[in-house]
Amino acid sequence: MGMGIKRQELFESLGGLRKGLFHIIGAVVLLGVILFPFAKELLRHLHRSLQEDLVAYAIPEAFLSLLKLTLFASLFLTIPVLFHHLWKAFSPLFRRRGLESSFYVPLAAILLFYGGAFFCYFVTLPFGIRFLMGYQSATIKPMISVAKYISFCVGFIFAFGLVFELPLILALLSYIRVVNASFLTRNRRYAILIMAILSAVLTPTPDIFNMALMGGPLYILFEIGILLVKIIERKRSVNDAVSSS
């Protein structure tokens, strides 16, 4: 069997993922029901970085905002279930190509996501909010919608959680021989351009400062990914040498 991914293998993995979607949706709904009574407390913690009061511009906005926050909190806590089913569906592709310690992949994915999310919540998000709020003056007084504030914070947190997966994604792509270290190193300048575009797309606001708050860690993660790919390639060459001898 060739080292590239065959279409049949991909369709089989997608079929397995479709079955897991019912468990993921069920977990999100169940956690949502449990968390909704605590939605106001969740909002209080999310509001800690903002000195201004939040406002609701429509009668149902407060209720719908708490409902949206509950949904995102439920999805946030369901990440281990999501990654478990993702890996359960796609792990055969990698086991056939030499990945032995498959248990550590979903564990690493979960730790990386929550690491990125908590880094954003405790470091990047407060810093970004203080920077943006610094533009108010005697003639500019902010009136921040609770719905938009929740979308801003949640978008930032989830975006950081996802971009922190970059080293793991590069390592997995190396296992199926989609990328290699020389390719990544040779095209570093294009990777930086792509990271800048991703930062512009994933950050909730288009300002350069918040883009830099994401782009900087993203570049560091890219370099870590290159190191992991080099380690995988070195291990593969050693195994190939042992097999041929």
pLDDT in tens, 84-123: 988 888 887 777 766 666 778 899 999 999 999 999 999 8
Q: Is the pLDDT of residue 241 over 70?
A: no
DSSP assignment of 101-132 equals -TTHHHHHHHHHHHHHHHHIIIIIHHHHHHHH
3-state DSSP assignment of residue 8: helix
Q: How far apart are the first and last CA of the chain?
A: 22
Structure-model confidence comparison of residues 38 and 213, the more confident one: 38
Helix, strand, coil in percent for the chain, rounding step 5: 80, 0, 20
Q: Which residues pair with 145 in a beta bridge?
A: 55
* Centroid of chain to Cα 4: 26
**pLDDT value, residue 202:** 73
Q: What value does the mean pLDDT take over residues 226-233?
A: 90
Q: Please check whether residue 102 is in contact with residue 87, taking contact to mean a CB–CB distance below 8 angstroms.
A: yes
Q: Is the pLDDT of residue 73 over 70?
A: yes
CA 139/CA 151 separation, integer angstroms: 26
**pLDDT value, residue 150:** 94
CA 124/CA 158 separation, integer angstroms: 12
Q: Band of the pLDDT at 58, cuts 50, 70, 90?
A: confident
Q: Is the pLDDT of residue 15 over 90?
A: no
Q: Is the pLDDT of residue 35 over 90?
A: yes
pTM of the model: 0.85
Q: What value does the mean pLDDT take over residues 129-157?
A: 84
**pLDDT value, residue 32:** 95
Q: Give how far Cα 89 sits from Cα of 17, 32, 86, 94, 111, Å.
A: 5, 25, 5, 11, 20
DSSP symbol at 37: G
Task: Indicate the helix (H) or strand (E) that contains 7.
Answer: helix 7-35
**pLDDT value, residue 2:** 39
**145, two tokens:** 């919608």
Q: How does the average pLDDT of the chain come out, rounded?
A: 84
**Cβ-count burial of 108 within 10 angstroms (0-12 exposed, 13-18 middle, 19+ buried)?**
middle
Q: Please check whether residue 55 is in contact with residue 144, taking contact to mean a CB–CB distance below 8 angstroms.
A: yes
User: What is the per-residue burial (b if ≥16 Cβ within 10 Å, else e) of 76-104?
Assistant: bebbebbbbbbbbbbbebbeebebeeeee
Q: Band of the pLDDT at 169, cuts 50, 70, 90?
A: very high
Least confidently predicted of 3-17, 48-62, 180-194, 211-225: 3-17
